[in-house]
Amino acid sequence: MAKKAKRRGRPPGSKNKKPIGKSVATMDISQLRAHIANLQGVLAKKVNAQRAYFESQLVQLGGYVSKKATAAAKAVTPNARAGKRAKPKYQSKKTSR
């Protein structure tokens, strides 16, 4: 039985895209400005899409957060014993009172 040869390189169907046809270094100024404007537009669309997604997630978590916030507020509020110091369990003979 012969061993199978290992395949090297990207696996078939990988989503690595090929670089842009022209190198940025060889573009002239007007092409670079157009390219930058295009990239800024794409970036703005993606940022708006993510913002909408996260805002929808926050709306869904609103009820959960409000329940937890009331429990945390109750735990933080001071009670009658908050200002009193506990009596020491063991005392030194030098400083005993």
Q: Give mean pLDDT, residues 87-96.
A: 76
**63 inside domain:** yes
pTM: 0.43
Residue with more model confidence, 72 or 48: 48
Distance CA 75, CA 79 (A): 9
What residues make up the domain containing 53? 48-73
Here the tokens at position 64 are 């959960």
**CA nearest neighbour of 57 among 68, 49, 69:** 49
- pLDDT tens digits, 13-40: 777 666 555 678 888 999 999 999 999 9
| Average of per-residue pLDDT values in the chain | 78
- Number of domains observed in the structure of the chain: 1
Instruction: Residue count of the chain, please give it.
Output: 97
User: Which pLDDT band, with edges at 50, 70 and 90, does 97 fall under?
Assistant: low
Q: Residue 72: is its pLDDT beyond 80?
A: no
